[in-house]
Copies of this chain bind each other. A is one copy, B any other.
Amino acid sequence: MKAIRDTNLLRTYLSRFGLDDTFSPASLNEMTLLRMEQGQVLWEKGDELDHLYFLVEGKIKIHTSSAEGKGLILRFKNPLAVIGDVEYVKGTEVFHTVEAVTDGYFLAIPFQQLKQEEHENRSFLHFLLDVITHKFYTEAHASTLNMLYDVDVRLASYLLSLTDDGKGSMFHEEMRTKTLKETAEVIGTSYRHLNRVLREFQNEGILDKQRGTIKIKDIDLLREKAEGNIYE
């Protein structure tokens, strides 16, 4: 990634995400702005980090793959996402590959500065704790869902998580998955199988689809399929 010298933009992001409340002025001063470009692989398994990064604009994809190339997308992330928190606390290498899905920006701050911050500033520790706890929580949910349920349940959950606004009411009945292949990776199955399950759903009257455009027809049936599970 390339460093961008744009103090105004940097300040805008700091205040938009309340980072200027979390960090001391000294730390804010150490922040740099970086630009990522679509498709770029930002970090790979095994990399050593020495900065903590905040995604402030754009979208990234966290994924992993076995030696044999079998891939699995763990999640997509939008601002404000934090990268390097676990690595900072545990001093370990990067474990998952991070890729830019769109163009965007990161803020970066050196680990060294964070050490300082830890001592002077309780709210930073709290921030870190909240971020990592949240990661653990969602990871635990998702992995349980993946281990315990078949693809149809996971797909239903995934569709609900996009369709539902989380409060029980429903928003866009129609949505376009960018690519079905990507959807397959997110729920941890092959494209072929996803397609199969989608057709089943169509046959059961749960949804309509034509070349990748999926339209939910019966959200109650979908909820039934998901068996009360929702991604996230």
Contacts and interface: CB of A to CB of B under 8 A. Distances in A.
Interface of A: 64-67, 70, 72, 74, 85-86, 89-90, 92, 95-96, 122, 125-126, 128-130, 132-137, 139-144, 146-149, 188, 227-228
A20 to B, nearest CB: 21
Given A67-B227, A146-B143, A136 B126 contact: no
Given A125-B125, A143-B139, A133 B134 contact: no
A22 to B, nearest CB: 14
Contacts of A130: 89
Contact of A95 (B122, B129, B140): B140
So how many copies of this chain end up in the complex?
A: 2
Interface of A is mostly: helix
A228 to B, nearest CB: 7
Given A125-B125, A128-B129, 5 more contacts: A64-B148, A95-B140, A129-B129, A136-B136, A146-B147
B64 A144 contact: yes
A66 to B, nearest CB: 5
A123 B122 CA distance: 11
B137 A90 contact: yes
A137 B139 CA distance: 10
Contact of A72 (B122, B128, B144): B144
A141 B74 CA distance: 12
